[in-house]
Amino acid sequence: MPANHQPSVDVLIHCPGSHGAIADQVHRQAIALHELGIKVLVLCSPNYLRTRQADYPNLPCMAEGATQEGGLISRKAAKAKQTILNQWLFAWQVYSKRPLIVLTGSHTDTQAGLWIWPHIVLSNFFRIVYATNLHFSTRDHTFGPKWWTTLCARLSFSPFRIAIAHKRLSGGSQLPRHIHPVEVPLGPESTKAIHQNPKTIRANWKVPRGKKALLAFGTIRNHKNIDLAIRALSDNPDVHLVIIGSVSSHKDKPLKYYQMLADDLGLSKRVYISDEFVGDEKRLSYFQAADYILLTYAGSFHSQTATLTTAVNARRQVLASSGSSPMKDLVRHFGLGVYVEPDSSDAVADGMATLLHGKLPEPDWEGYEAHATWETNVTRLLQATADHLSGKSPVEKQFEGLEDEGLEIPELLNARRIHHQKTPPPKKRTATAKKPVTRKKKTASTEEVPMSEKVNGHAPGDKIDSHPVFPGFDLLNTKEPEPALEPAPTSARKRTADKSKPVKTTRRRKAPISEVAAAE
């Protein structure tokens, strides 16, 4: 850039999109730069201003909304044509405004071989610092042979010198060597919250009183390791897991998988799963209804998430895991919860136990809120630009050189040991010598006699009074046995058997008194 040229714009931001997270981030970065007194200009589409109130200068000159008609090839061709036209118009605005910094809302390589050359000239010969917000979104507008796509991907990074991102970029091959990565925080949310009763929300989650609710919120993805958290519940009986979100990709496990896993482990009553949509205005109430927030990402995760900011706003500690990432640095530096090693159910179980029973430092909520701002976001961009122009290497990590100023890292507890202490196993029986059994002699009073063996109300062996005629003899029965009945005469038996025939009887004649007297 000529020395006598005074730029009319300090920072020129390119944002062809009108909706989504990228446009929202550009809007907040532009507000922060404008409030710092930086001359900023946003090149945007006409729809960009429909849902945003922009107090900063903007120029709606970008085309948006390529045709969606026709087949796949025609749609890709229309999108590529629109990108090429926007990039040439973007290069013209850079040349005419001559800013100190050019910031793109996102990085694109679509047909870069057809539009990248004016930007390379502006960067190398006019000493304009090109920076980009790096999101690493999935490339879905590739058009042409493979060699052309590879060439465009390499050429697209040529004019850039600084890449600001929310993830850890060092040590990888994602960026060329001439680009300096700079980590920046995610700013606070701007949505007004609608407060709901936490007790009502917990009642819907079916969390009993005295139990702790661990909330996993947002899009359900495999790298969030929710299945490990379900397995970790076995060693933490006081924890209930609440999963709220939806699966957006067929490559990720469906919600039914997590429900079946909880059923197989016998934990279905302690796992609540719902795919309900929760708006941004209700999200804070859901976080406040929970006791802790789950952020157990896999080791392949090197970024940060807006869920951490919502957890801080709700004043809820987190259980986090990831690879080397800004999120790990933020959790440890400000004491926002417990960080464990990724991809381990035992580590997640220990983290749960530490949240419930460990000695944790008091979280520095205010310190995090003072750091994670859009002002910090753009300030790190400005500082990295100044370092680059002065020949210094920009500081990459947010807390590089400030590791000693962070809070003390809590010591992890052993969940299985705590669980076994609370529920001790049954006591083992100790072998003792058996005492000799002394059998009592059976006596008449102690021997149990069946009722059928009792005679006349006395049991065998009962002592009764002696017989008066034979002293010294103890008889069991004082009654004489009845004489046996002799068989009846034959005539009597016949009479008895034949009852149907009448029996003739002869009456004896009574002797007269005279005969009796004479006999005497």
The CATH number assigned to the domain holding 67 equals 3.40.50.11930
The most confident of the ranges 350-359, 399-408, 426-435 is 350-359
Which amino acid type is present at position 63? Answer: A
Q: Which of 264-278, 332-346, 459-473 is predicted with the least confidence, judged by mean pLDDT?
A: 459-473
User: Dihedrals φ, ψ of 197, to 5°?
Assistant: -70, 120
How far from chain centre, in Å, is Cα 384?
38
Q: How many CB atoms lie within 10 A of CB 374?
A: 22
- Residues of the chain with pLDDT > 90, as a percent, come to 54
pLDDT at 168: 82
Tell whether the model's pLDDT for residue 293 goes beyond 50: yes
Q: Please indicate, yes or no, whether residues 221 and 251 belong to a single structural domain of this protein.
A: yes
Query: Is residue 42 classed exposed, middle or buried when 0-12, 13-18 and 19+ CB atoms within 10 A define those classes?
Result: buried
Looking up residue 322, the CATH number of its domain turns out to be: 3.40.50.2000
In this structure, the answer to whether residues 173 and 270 fall within a common structural domain is no
Distance CA 104, CA 198 (A): 41
How confident is the model at residue 455, as a pLDDT? 41
As a whole number, mean pLDDT of residues 195-203 equals 94
CA separation for the pair 49, 27 (Å, rounded)? 10
Q: Is residue 475 part of a domain?
A: no
In a domain? residue 69: yes
Q: How many CB atoms lie within 10 A of CB 283?
A: 22
Q: What is the mean pLDDT of residues 12-21?
A: 90
Q: Confidence class of residue 5 from pLDDT cuts 50, 70 and 90?
A: low
Residues 213 and 347 in one domain: yes
Which residues does 329 contact at the CB level (< 8 Å), separation at least 6?
A: 397, 398, 399
Q: Which domain-ending residue is among 183, 213, 235?
A: 183
Does the pLDDT value for residue 114 go beyond 90? Answer: yes
| Close Cβ partners of 30 (under 8 Å, ≥ 6 residues apart) | 13, 40, 42, 54, 56, 58
Contact 81, 52 (CB under 8 A): no
Lowest mean pLDDT among 11-25, 142-156, 375-389, 483-497: 483-497
Instruction: Give mean pLDDT, residues 179-204.
Output: 89
Residue 178 belongs to a domain: yes
Range with the largest mean pLDDT of 147-151, 416-420, 447-451, 460-464: 147-151
Q: Among 11-25, 80-94, 186-200, 402-416, whose mean pLDDT is lowest? A: 402-416
Cβ–Cβ < 8 Å for 127, 98: no
Round the average pLDDT of the chain to a whole number and report it.
Answer: 81
**Measured in Å, how far apart are the chain's first and last C-alpha atoms?**
186
Q: Is pLDDT of 452 > 50? A: no
pLDDT confidence of residue 484:
52
Contact 224, 205 (CB under 8 A): no
**pLDDT band at residue 493, thresholds of 50, 70 and 90?**
very low
pLDDT confidence bin for 513, thresholds 50/70/90: very low
Number of domains in the chain: 2
Q: Are 372 and 188 in contact (CB under 8 A)?
A: yes
CB 254 within 8 A of CB 223: no
In a domain, 210, yes or no: yes
What is the residue range of 212's domain? 198-364+407-422
pLDDT of residue 77: 83
- Residues 314 and 232 both lie in one domain: yes
Would 299 be classed as within a structural domain? yes
Does one domain contain both 110 and 235? no
Q: Could you tell me the pLDDT band of residue 59, with boundaries at 50, 70 and 90? A: very high
Rg of the chain's alpha carbons, rounded to an integer?
A: 48
Residues 411-415 have a mean pLDDT of 88
Confidence of residue 465 (pLDDT cuts 50, 70, 90): very low
CB-based contact 179:157 (threshold 8 Å): yes
More confident residue, 406 or 256: 256
Both 178 and 228 in a single domain? no
Angle at 181 between CA 177 and CA 187, to 5 degrees: 165
Asked if residue 353 is part of any domain, the answer here is: yes
Domain C-terminal end among 377, 395, 422: 422
Residues 282 and 322 in one domain: yes
What are 20-54's pLDDT values in tens digits? 888 999 999 999 999 999 999 999 999 998 888 88
Q: Report which DSSP code applies to 455.
A: B
Q: For 246-269, how does the pLDDT look when each residue is reduced to its tens digit (9 = 90+)?
A: 998 888 999 999 999 999 999 999
Residues 153 and 111 in one domain: yes
Judge whether 486 lies within some domain: no
pLDDT above 50 (res 174): yes
Position 436 scores a pLDDT of 56
Least confident of 206-210, 232-236, 448-452, 508-512: 448-452
Same domain, 220 and 151: no
Q: How far apart are CA 129 and CA 7, in angstroms?
A: 13
242 shares its domain with 149 = no
Answer yes or no: do 173 and 246 share one domain. Answer: no
Answer whether residue 508 shows pLDDT above 60.
no
pLDDT for residue 453 is more than 50: no
Average pLDDT estimate for 335-352: 96
Looking at per-residue pLDDT, the higher value among 502 and 257 belongs to 257
The confidence band for 426, taking pLDDT boundaries of 50, 70 and 90, is low
Question: Reading across the β-sheet that carries 318-321, which strands appear in turn?
Answer: 271-274, 239-244, 212-217, 292-296, 318-321, 337-339
On whether residue 326 sits in a domain, the answer given is yes
pTM: 0.72
Phi/psi of residue 239, nearest 5 degrees: -110, 135
Q: Please give the full DSSP string across 58-72, using - where no structure is assigned.
A: EEE---------S-H
In angstroms, how far is CA 348 from the centroid of its own chain? 11
The reply to whether 271 and 222 lie within a common domain is yes
Q: How confident is the model at residue 451 (pLDDT cuts 50, 70, 90)?
A: very low
d(CA 72, CA 70): 7
CB half-sphere exposure, 242, CA atoms < 13 A: 23
